Amino acid sequence: MRFALLPTFCYFTAVCAQSSVVDSYVATESPIAKAGLLANVGPSGAKSSGAKAGIVIASPSTTNPNYLFTWTRDSALVFKVVADQFTTGQDSSLRTHIDQYFTAQQALQQVSNPVEQYQLEASQNPNSTLMEQLLRDHGEDRADGPALRATALITYANWLIANSNTTFVTNSLWPVIKLDLDYVSTFWNQSTFDLWEEVDSSSFFTTAVQHRALREGAILASKIGQSSVVSGYTTQAGSILCFLQSYWNPSVGYITANTGGGRSGKDANTALASIHTFDPTAGCDAVTFQPCSDKALSSLKVYVDSFRSIYGINSGIASNAAVATGRYPEDVYFNGNPWYLATAAVAEQLYDALIVWKQQGSITITSTSLAFFKQFSSSITAGTYASSMSTYTSLISGIQTFADGFLAINAKYTPSNGGLSEQFDKNSGSPLSAVDLTWSYASALTVFAARSGISPASWGAEGLVVPSGTCSAQTGQTVTITFNVVATTQFGENIFLTGSLDALTDWSTSNPIPLSAANYPTWSVTVTLPANTNFEYKYIRIFNGAVTWESDPNNSNTTPGTGTLVINDTWR
């Protein structure tokens, strides 16, 4: 049966009732969520038959929708949970799973990709066979995957170092981690599909996790004597942190999740970014949008409020109480519904905030976060409230109740067997879409841990400042680049250019950029590209419809901040 919001065994107040419901839900759902997560991990998972060791399937669902795939991002988020539980001593039996995940990712990371032939986030069959599909057509070239995989493996690496196994980290883990960090460092300033694989633009979540990965990657590199990369990673992290600030929209008081797509930008993306970049040593830092920062709290309120009137199950709920939330208010996927992981993310951000407030013994309210705090005290004003003050105590209690309210909603709409699908119906509350979604189970485990006061290790966010000057990328400036390549051809054969940027046709072979043979055997073309941008490219031959690529590796270069650049190549 479902968990009722007001159980009969608590006679005192609605708050008492809700707390009891959530306590019961956490106790009951925790082992179910963990078992559900592991059931979707090969080779022995009960619902992932055929998946190789360490491979995570998104869901065992094969129809409406078919989620029997593994994706780098989802797998990394799942194994960050597994790594956290292992490294914090919650479950020592998980180490074999982590080792198998590493081995699987080590292999998948090297799969040759027909779209970019390096690190684009390939959709794989559970048995690790590369699907023959153009990733761009399916919206799956997500740039958050490498960053998140690096973070999951760095968590394990730090534990190994602390337990006298630095050699394995240096010789085995580091080469894999470094490839992901190098990818992030090189390509962070390119647009990518958003968290939901629908909008091709800049994404707050992606930028935030990329920043984190490079910061903690630089720290790990220093630990194991790989100092040559530290400066480069740190410099790029500074540029990313600078760009991260651009997502904040002060006029409306929220973080704009995506820079494109024609949406409002109110999106679970922002709460998810906040909890996945939580660093308890950073306090309520607004530069990194920590969970208790004024900007993150203001944004959370705007995001939550956007769902109050669009879901039937939220009808009649007070304007300062918890409601079910989804991906974004304009969502039409399965007709647009609440998601378990989105609703849990709101609770988790609040629990993370409570951890820091209790740790520092005070709550600071600014004009930016005032609207958030007025939900708990209509007369409250900006200022700092110490733990010795009644206002602090009242706020801590009110926000704890508010956070529990979101878990109580998930509890209400969790079926009797504890199974967590992707969504639940906005009018009836019935589970919808992919069954046993691995990410849903992972989100349950992380929010339960946050509620119990468990905080993650620091990743280096404390004391960070935005570099002075102008962000080094994503400024909208462009430069002119001339490509020259010496290539002999037969009659009817032509040379084309394609590469990793939109302006280079995103590795397309159906509409590549034609080069002129006016100065044969030198073929030439001049194109306009974004300034201060790293990119990769290749020349291709097309003859009678047949496409021939240059030999590996890809060519690479960086556009200047201003002016022009001439690139002279010879066909390989």
Place of tokens 């004009």: 367
Distance CA 481, CA 145 (A): 30
Residue in 29, 84, 140, 194 annotated catalytic? 194
Instruction: Please say whether the beta carbons of 346 and 406 come within 8 A.
Output: yes
* Residue tagged active-site, from 99, 197, 330, 462: 197
- Tell me which residue has tokens 């996945």: 276
For residues 445 and 30, the answer to whether their CB atoms sit within 8 Å is yes
Q: Which residue has the tokens 């958030």?
A: 372
Cα separation, 191 vs 206, whole angstroms: 10
**CA-to-CA distance for 545 and 174, rounded, in angstroms?**
42
- C-alpha 106/C-alpha 100 separation (Å) is 10
Q: Which two tokens stand for residue 126?
A: 């559970």
HSE-CB for 307 with a 13 A CA cutoff: 29
* 534-543/192-193 β-pairing: unpaired
- Catalytic, 194? Answer yes
For residue 142, give the nearest of 231, 202, 69, 67 by alpha carbon: 202
Contact 338, 313 (CB under 8 A): yes
Question: Dihedrals φ, ψ of 570, to 5°?
Answer: -125, 135
Tell me how crowded residue 8 is: count the other CB atoms within 10 A of its CB: 7
Secondary structure (DSSP) of 225-260: T-GGGHHHHHHHHHHHHHHHGGGEETTTTEE-SBSS
Q: Tokens for 367, please give them.
A: 């004009």
Element (H, E) at 212: helix 204-223
Measure Cα distances from 48 to 22, 67, 131, 186, 419 in Å: 30, 12, 18, 35, 16
Residue 37 CA to residue 283 CA, distance in Å, equals 31
Taking the C-alpha atoms of residue 498 and residue 516, their distance in angstroms, rounded to an integer, is: 14
Indicate if 404 belongs to the active site. no
Q: Which residue has the tokens 């200022």?
A: 383
Task: Give the helix ranges, DSSP H, for 361-484.
Answer: 370-373, 390-412, 438-451
Active site members:
194, 197
